[in-house]
Structure 1
Amino acid sequence: MPGIASLSHRTSEGDVVRFQVRGRGGRRWITFVVIAFGALFLAIGLILAGVSASFLADAKRARGTVVSLEWRKDDDASRRTQADDKPAAYPVVEFTSADGAPRKFEDSTGSNPPSYEVGERVEVLYDAGSPEDARINGFISLWLLPLIFGGIGLVIAGIGTGVAVATRGRS
């Protein structure tokens, strides 16, 4: 039926809630929400990229060694399916900070198959003020989250903008 926009949402209890908005105003509202949602994700991605860039600018560098791999499964059962029920390997790295103290940390990014091997030498970036805030100097460790959030936001906002431009030309 022309002029009616419908949305459906399944609640956590399994019930389906349907929303129906009539007319051009309804379509514009839905388009605005889609663009705003995409812009929010894009903003989060840009903020995370800024945090990574700021960390890189101020970080001290040290040589470290992967001393073990911590294997663990994702505890979030709602996101997990049987296909991705495999554990991920999180590298545990030892390094010596500028104050001469030995440090050990577990990287925040795990993978299967493992990205690093036990005994592998890696470059460590750490905050001089709190050396326990350390990361492996790698693309995934520094840029994965900004790329995911920014990319999803860009795609969603782009689709919303494309729909808005296409429907505006018809009205």
Structure 2
Amino acid sequence: MIRIAKPWNEIILFGLGVAFTIFAAIALFIDLNLSATGTRATGTVIEFVARDTIDTQAGYAPVVRWTDKDGAERSFTASVSSSPNEFSLGESVDVLYDPHNPELAKIDSTRQRFLLPFLFGALGLAFSGLGAGSVLNYRKQRKRAAWLEKNGIWIDGEFQASYPDDSIDIRRHHPYRIVVTGKVGSSREPTKFESEAVWPDLSSTLAGEPVPVLVNPDDPTHYFVDLSNWLEDKDWV
């Protein structure tokens, strides 16, 4: 059976994207609902709390003191920090809060209300798109592999080389590609075939050994180099 590595990293990326998108949608819904049903007041920036910003640099979130409609004095720390400070110490700001749950309050500004939903939504859509593309490509490869298993022919390939694939970098390690050549049908010239990415360097192992290749006789660009006789599951990338 043709082995095609499952895109686990991309599947995880897709899951993260979906989670980020759901989080953004929920945050936006809560904000819009608060805007429609909440009460507004005026608050004052009384201090700043150091926090990491979106780009992991040190930023400062304003702490706002305000008075609700019942005359109770309250305070909260804004969810969005920045560097330099978005507000000044002692600056008056508009506060939007839930009259039934005054602990749910935020500064009524575009950046404070929509930055986090926008960022998580953008990241969620990007991650989901990249992950979905890889998953769809995997399904396409599986479909082609099933056709090849049913209609392809086996030939003996001759080992030519093993080289590190610099386009794949996993923790600063590069897997190898195995290059073999073999004649397809009545072709006089040998055709070059490259394996899927694998971790071991099989140069010494494959030297002088016939390497099975499953190939479409009508389209030699559609093939699979079978290294299962020399590899375990952990050896595939």
Q: Which has the higher helix share?
A: 1
Unaligned stretches of 5+ in structure 1?
Answer: 4-21
Amino acid at match of 1:56: S
Structure showing greater Rg: 2
Once the two structures are TM-superposed, the CA of residue 60 in structure 1 deviates from its matched residue by 0.4
SS in 2 for 1:23: coil
State which drifts further: 160-169 or 131-140: 160-169
Is 2:66–2:75's contact at 8 Å kept on the other side of the alignment?
Answer: yes
Partner of 1:27, secondary structure, is coil
In the alignment, which residue of structure 2 is the partner of 1:62? Answer: 41
- Aligned partner of 2:72: which letter? A
1:132–1:149: structure 2 CA closer, same or farther, 3 Å change rule?
Answer: same
Q: Match for residue 110 of structure 1?
A: 81
TM normalised by structure 2 equals: 0.49
Match of 2:105 in 1: 134
The one-character-per-residue Cα deviations of 1:118-154 (angstroms, maximum 9, x if unpaired) are 2322110011123233210122322222222222121
- TM (norm. structure 1) is 0.65
8 A Cα contact 1:56 1:125, kept in partner:
yes
- Is 2:6 the counterpart of 1:23? no
Contact 1:37 1:156 in 2 (8 A): yes
Give per-residue Cα distances to partners, 1:66-88, cap 9 Å, x unaligned: 2x2224255xxxx96xxx3x4x3
Contact 1:37 1:153 in 2 (8 A): yes
Count residues in correspondence: 140
1:36-95 deviation per Cα after TM superposition (whole angstroms, max 9, x unaligned): 3322222222122222222222210012222x2224255xxxx96xxx3x4x32222222
Q: Is the 8 A contact 1:69 1:89 kept in 2?
A: no
Asked if 1:156 is matched to 2:127, the reply is yes
In structure 2, C-alpha distance between the alignment counterparts of 1:30 and 1:91, rounded to whole Å? 38
Tell me what 1:39 maps to. Answer: 18
Cα 1:37/1:119, change in 2 over 3 Å: closer
CA contact (8 A) 2:16 2:124 kept: yes
Letter in 1 for 2:122: G
Larger deviation, residues 109-118 vs 129-138: 129-138
**Deviation of the 1:31 alpha carbon:** 4.9
Q: Which has the higher contact order (CA 8 A, sep 6+)?
A: 1
RMSD over aligned Cα, in angstroms? 3.0
Change in CA separation of 1:96 and 1:149 when aligned onto 2, cut-off 3 Å: same
Unaligned 5+ segments in structure 2 are 145-237
